[in-house]
Structure formats: structure tokens, C-alpha cells
Amino acid sequence: MTLPLTGREIPLITDEWADPSLGTGCVKITPAHDPNDYEVWQRHREIGAVNVLNSNGTIAAQGPYQGLDRFAARKRIMADLDAQGLVEKIEDRTIEIDHSDRSKTIVEPWLSKQWFVHMADVDGGIVMGRGTSKEFHSKGLAQAALDATAGALPAFADGTKRAQVMFHPDQDRYRKMYDQWLAEKRDWCISRQLWWGHRIPVWRGDLPTQHLLMLAPMLKGQLSRDDVAAWIVLPDGTRLSVADAITRLQQPNAPQSIEVQICFRDESADATTGPMLQGAGLELDPDVLDTWFSSALWPHSTLGWPHPETAKVDAGQPSLGGKDGHKSALDYWYPGSCLVTGRDIITLWVARMVITGLYNLGDVPFSSVFLHATILDGKGERMSKSKGNGIDPLDIISRYGADALRYVVCELQTGTQDIRLPVQAISPFTKEGEPERLIDLATAKPGPYLGTFLDPVTKQPMDLIGQYAKEGLTPAKATSDRFAVGANFCNKLFNAARFAFLNLEGSTFVARKAGDLPLEDRWILSRLAKARAAVHGSLSDYNPAAAIAVAREFFWGELCDWYLELIKPRFRPETDANERAIAQQTLAFVLDQTLRLLHPFVPFLTETLWQSLRSLAPVRGIEAPLSDSELIVHAKWPEAGTARIDAEAEAAVAAVQQWCAAIREARASYQVVPRARIGVRIQATGALATLLQRGQGLLAHMAGAESIAIGADQQPTKDSATVVIGDGKAYLLGVVDLDKERDKLGKQAEKLRQQIQSMEQKLGNEGFRAKAPPQVIAQQEESLAAMRQQVAGIEQRLREL
């Protein structure tokens, strides 16, 4: 057939690609400009492939359109076809076209030569870690990386197992992502057309066949060396070793011209031998390596691979080589333990690091991969510099502090859930003296350019990416008030420590048995031991948010809210010196351990407080002195201290807390002035009475009671408010309004009756009785009995009123 536009003769072929249901069922094929047409070309090599475009988007093909921009050419082509009367119909059709993310330009497919890394299995297998003590064989690169996560890599020569690469916090999910991608074993295109990066170390060029044959005797010697790889590519794409090529090219019908490709193992050869190759018409490939190729080398290249002894280091840094019997940096640090990265990086980078580590060193670069969540903006979109919806950590640091940033980021990392972090712009249009105005970027109207937003008050555009100074736009910074949580935490920690420091003057260490300490001391030591275990457990589970929640609850909810308040009386001037000394010793110990526990989350503040603590209480401990350290960053992680777990103390303080909360609630609902100290009588018998008597003083102190009397014979006065918990009753003297009291107790009883009813229904269900585990049934029966008892107590009190 003749192509009407250029008069070129083109073949007519049949192929499954053409769809008879679309248009005429006939379609032009442009293998160099369409991935599907490219596939057609692979099936019909005779049609050839013409690269229609130049790299700048103008028409390359000879003819009337040469040099025209592609958009202009398309219009011209339509006009020309129309002029020739060849256009029957024009239909609108929606198609999807790729656009460059950065420039938004339409991406045009373009035929070009690229380098690929062969990922699939290779006949005879490949050698991994060649020449190292960890050398082993694998079927192929991708397969080796699959074996790494399957735990299927062969053992080392000495019989020890190679590490299995494990994913956290969701091994199944993330390993599946990794495995599914690798299982395709698709070749990895490593050529990139960028002006920066690691240049692909291959010399190539077209040579006349005669030229190559003349050089043959010399090449045979040079190119069979182990440190040079060389190939000859025939015009039909066949790729041969130099020796095979020379044999082949001496036969009749040999092509006139061939392509030569040479790669030196040692990159210095590019400089020494390069000029000679250039003279022969070869050039170093102008493309650079894929970012991920260079990045894949990071775990070992940063440690001086392949020669740590001679690896370049910055001025003032020690050599990476080993000496005096010490290992080199590479031997010491490789393999590493844990890689922390994002989910989208699993295939791009993690898999490739495993591949290059196994290939170059015969070992995995790390055994654990911790995938953190992705931080998104308030709309659920990825933060991006060009969109201006991101936050600069340095801005957060200057606004809230480095510890606040770290604390909140740890707190956000809960598991596999992506994190929405609403972003606000700080309005640059507030006047002197006006309060700062934060503008939520999720709802703000976009400005005239990408990365700009309108200030809703002044309607002026703000530049969030600092790119529009020329256009006269005012730059604005982004922040997120979520980080205030971290700053508040630091403030609380600072103040709690300050309270301790104000009272630790003259603190000494005397070996004591934890069991001999006062109730509140035994309690906080017990809680500390449990918090320590829980924080440790959560960190081991790669769950920083859970760890920080436990640490926070211990520090704020138990140490500050209860323990510091409970021991205040012991620091009063009139207190016995020994009691004070014990309080100091326990406080110093607990603060020591708390600082260590919080150090991973707020390192700078804990480091500062550590210095003060050390100078005020140089020796800290209970049974024995703790190990000390000049810097907390070097200090040992808090000791397990499980021996200090004290169920009895915990039960007593838990009772104090429960009754205190109930008394406070009653005080609040009767609007008792917070500072007023009231009389309290608690009617209780048996175990409850014993428990409350242990914590009697503490309860009085914390509940703002002038005095607390506890006993079976305690009776209310007429003006008492009543608090009923279980089979005990507390009477708050002189606070009551009778109507209000009846109303309150009536509501409480009603709520309890509803719960009792639903519980009775459940327990009366034969299916439940027959099938539920006995301990669940027992538990529910127990709680039903307790609720019935409580209701009875309330009803009795109501009758009395």
C-alpha cells in the first residue's frame, strides 16, 4: 500500500491487535510510538519501526512534516488528508494519555536503546557474592531476593543459616507485595535520560565489520579478561561474545557494520582506556543509572564497598578500613538489622537492596524491614513540595521543638494505617499585634498557581512553595497544630521534673527493701515495672504509638496525677526527716527510670533533665544503686524490676482512686467549692473496709476530705450526699440538696437496672449457658451480683431519704 501523506510504500499485515468492532477494523501501526504497536512489530518484524519524533517533540521522519512540532504536524496531517478527500468521518473518542508529573506535558512513546538488568532465571544459574566467603549460587537475581523473604537462601559455608528478611508490622501483607512484584521477574530498565546521576559504565559504538576483524587478534587477548565485559551486537539484535562474533563475521553474508559494547569492572579504566575507545569511534553511554540502582547499592556502598581500606571519606572522618584487629566498617556493619521505610518503597528500593546485597556480598543487607505509615494531608493526599501541602520539619522544630516533632510522629505511627495530618498555613497577612491566624489548607481555596492558596480573610494569595516571588505573591509557612500535643507533653515533663528537683535537695541512697516502703511508693514502683514491660513489648512489636501511649499514661496519668500528689505531704516541713528521705529516694529512682523510659521519644529534654537529676541525686536506687551514665543516651534501658510488682499495693491504691473519683464526681455535681474540705464517712465491711483503711490517709488527701471515717457502723447525716460502689457507701457530709440527691441516685439505679436486665437475659439464654466458656459465665455472674448489690444499696438510701 502507499501511505498517502508521504507516498511511502508500506506492507499490509493481519494481526490480532486490530479490533474489527472499532472503526473500519483497519489501523495504522507505529511501533516506535505506541506500546501495543510495538508488540505488533515484534510479531511482524518486516514492517520495521520508524522513530517519528525527535527527542524535542518535532517530527524526525523525512518528508513534508519534518521539523514541525508534533501538535502542528497533527493539524497539518488532518488538513492534508482532508484536502485529498480521504477523511470520511471524525469522531470524538475519550482516550487516556500519560502526562509528565512535573511538567504536565503529554508523554510521547519514543523508541530508544536502554539498558536492562536481567531479573529472570538464567540457564546454569548465577554466582552471588562472587569471590567472597559468602558466595553461593542462585537461579537468578529475582529468585535470590524471593528466597530471602522465604527463608530459603542456602546456609553459609560454616552451616549457619542466612537471615530471612522479615516485614513489620504486617509480615503477611508486606511480604506479599514484595513477593508478587518480584515473582514477575521483569527485567529492570536502568537507563535514565537525566543530566545528573551515575553514568552507565558502558562504551558503545557502531564499527565497520572489517575494522573489528582487523582488531580481532588484539581484542581476543584484551576482551577475554575477567575485568572486562564485551559484546558484539549484530544489526538483527543478536548479541554475541567477541570470540563468537569474530567467528561469525568471518563467514559469508556477514553484516557490514556491527555494534560494540564494552564495560570495565574497574571504573578507573574508563579514564585510562577511554581515549583509545573514543579514537575507535566508541562513546560512553550518555544515560545515567536509575536512581534506584544507585540507591540499591546504598547499604554496602556507604560502608566502603568494594574496598573499605581505600574508600574515600570526608575530611576529618576515620577510614572505613579495619585495623589493629578491628573489622572494617563493611565487615562490622553489614548486614544491618532493620530498615525503616515507606510502603511504596518496597518494590522500588527494598527489593533492589536485597538483590544487590546478595549479588555483591552474598548476604542480605538487613533482616527486618519496618514499614511506617504514609503521612497524608487533611484531604488524604500525599504531601508534595510542588502542591505546597507539605510541612517542613524545620518549621515544626522552630515552632514546637524537636522533641515535640519526634513525640508526635511516634504517636502517629500506630500500625499499617496511613496518617492524615491536617496542614495549616500561617497567614502572612495578619497585622502587627493581631493574633496569628491558621488557615486549614484542606478547605482553603486554591490560588492562581499550583502551590498557592487564598487567605479567606484578606482574599490574598499565599505562596506555600516559595516559587512565586517574581509574580509578587507573599510567601507563607505551613504548620500543623497537631504538634502542640508534643509540646504540651514536654511542658508537663519539664514541670514534673521541676517539682522533683525542688524537693530532691539532700537526697541520699540507702539500701531498702521495696516491700518495706509506704503504700504509694510500692504502688508506683509496681506500676513502673508494668509500664516498662508494656513499653518494651510495644517497641519490640514495632508499635511506637502503643509504646508512647503506655509511657504517657504512666507518666501523666499515674506519676503526675497520683504519685506526685500523694507524696506532697511527705515534703512538708513538719514531716519526719526519715519519711521525707524515703520519699526523696523513691522519687529520684522513679524519675530516673521514667526519664530513661521516655528518652526514645523526647531525647533532648530527657537529656537535659538527666543532668539535673544526676547532680541532685548522684546515687539512685531502691535495693541497690542503679547503673549510672554521664549521658542518658548512653544509659541502660530501665531495668525489668518485676520483683517490685505488688498486687496488694495496686489493689489498695486502685480502691483509693475509684472512691476518690466517685467522691470528686459527687463534689462536682453538688458544686462543692474545690478548695472546701469536707467530712466523709464510708460505710464498709470486710475486705473493702480493710483495703480502704490501708489507703485512708491517701484518700482523704486526694478527695479533699477533712477526715475520713471508715467502718461498718458509719451513718449518714441528714444533709449527706451518698456515693454507692459495690457494697460500700460513702457519705459526704453537709453538701446535699435532697431533691437533687434523690434524682441523682434514681438515675444511677435506673441505669444499673437496665444493665442488670440485659445481663439477666444473657445469662438466662440456654445457648449461652451451654456454649460459652465457664470463666466467661462466671465473670458475668459475678458482675451481675455486684450490680444487684449496688442497686440494693441505692434503693435503701433512697428509702432513707
**Residue 116 near RNA by CB under 7 A:** no
**Residue 350 near RNA by CB under 7 A:** no
Q: Which amino acid is at 195?
A: W
The Cα 372–Cα 379 span in angstroms is 20
**Residue 530 near RNA by CB under 7 A:** no
Cβ at position 399, least distance to RNA in Å: 11
**CB nearer to RNA: pick between 111 and 284:** 111
**CB nearer to RNA: pick between 109 and 299:** 109
Contacts 24+ apart (CB under 8 A), 449-457: 449/473, 450/386, 450/387, 450/388, 451/386, 451/387, 451/388, 452/388, 453/388, 453/425, 455/425, 455/427, 455/428, 455/429, 457/427, 457/429
Subset of 201-230 contacting RNA (CB under 7 A): none
**Which residues on adjacent β-strands are paired with residue 173?**
none
Cβ at position 19, least distance to RNA in Å: 4
The Cα 787–Cα 796 span in angstroms is 14
Cβ at position 714, least distance to RNA in Å: 23
**CB nearer to RNA: pick between 358 and 591:** 591
Subset of 365-424 contacting RNA (CB under 7 A): 374, 376, 378, 380-382, 412, 414-422
**Residue 796 near RNA by CB under 7 A:** no
Q: Tell me the CB-side half-sphere exposure of residue 481, using CA atoms within 13 A.
A: 9
Q: Which of 430, 491, 658, 693 binds RNA (CB under 7 A)?
A: 491
Cβ at position 684, least distance to RNA in Å: 19
Cβ at position 285, least distance to RNA in Å: 23
**CB nearer to RNA: pick between 347 and 474:** 347
Subset of 30-89 contacting RNA (CB under 7 A): 34-36
**Residue 3 near RNA by CB under 7 A:** no
Q: How many helices (H) and strands (E) does the chain have?
A: 26, 26
**Residue 171 near RNA by CB under 7 A:** no
Alpha-carbon 619 to chain mean position? 39
Cβ at position 22, least distance to RNA in Å: 3
Q: Which of 5, 10, 18, 126 binds RNA (CB under 7 A)?
A: 18
Stated length of the chain: 801
The Cα 523–Cα 654 span in angstroms is 9
Cβ at position 770, least distance to RNA in Å: 7
**CB nearer to RNA: pick between 98 and 471:** 98
**CB nearer to RNA: pick between 367 and 780:** 780
Give me the sign of the Cα torsion angle 225, 228, 233, 239: positive
**Residue 95 near RNA by CB under 7 A:** yes
Going by the DSSP 8-state scheme, the letter that residue 627 receives in this structure is: P
The Cα 254–Cα 247 span in angstroms is 10
Q: How many residues bind RNA (CB under 7 A)?
A: 87
**Residue 533 near RNA by CB under 7 A:** no
Subset of 732-761 contacting RNA (CB under 7 A): 755, 758-759
**Residue 502 near RNA by CB under 7 A:** yes
Q: Which of 50, 234, 619, 661 binds RNA (CB under 7 A)?
A: 661
Subset of 261-320 contacting RNA (CB under 7 A): none
Q: Which amino acid is at 39?
A: E
- Which secondary structure element, helix H or strand E, spans residue 230, and what is its range? strand 228-233
**Residue 780 near RNA by CB under 7 A:** yes
Subset of 535-564 contacting RNA (CB under 7 A): 545-546, 549, 556, 560-561, 564
Cβ at position 634, least distance to RNA in Å: 27
**Residue 674 near RNA by CB under 7 A:** yes
- What phi and psi values does residue 53 have, to the nearest 5 degrees? -105, 155
Of the candidates 222, 219, 248, the residue with the CA atom closest to the CA atom of residue 234:
248
Report the chain's terminal Cα–Cα distance, integer Å. 108
Subset of 699-718 contacting RNA (CB under 7 A): none
Q: Which of 726, 768, 788, 789 binds RNA (CB under 7 A)?
A: 768
Cβ at position 250, least distance to RNA in Å: 41
Geometric angle at alpha carbon 580, from 574 and 585, rounded to 5°: 170
Subset of 117-156 contacting RNA (CB under 7 A): none
**CB nearer to RNA: pick between 182 and 525:** 182
**Residue 429 near RNA by CB under 7 A:** no
Cell of 236: 538483527
Cβ at position 577, least distance to RNA in Å: 19
Which residue stretches of 310-434 are H helix? Answer: 329-333, 345, 351-361, 393-400, 402-412
Spell out a b/e string for 120-135, using b for 16 or more CB atoms within 10 Å of the CB, else e: eeeeeebebbeeeebe
Cβ at position 669, least distance to RNA in Å: 6
Angle between helices 402-412 and 544-552 (to 10 degrees): 120
Cβ at position 139, least distance to RNA in Å: 23
Residue 65: which region, alpha, beta or left (left: phi > 0; alpha: psi -120 to 50)? alpha
- Which secondary structure element, helix H or strand E, spans residue 249, and what is its range? helix 242-249
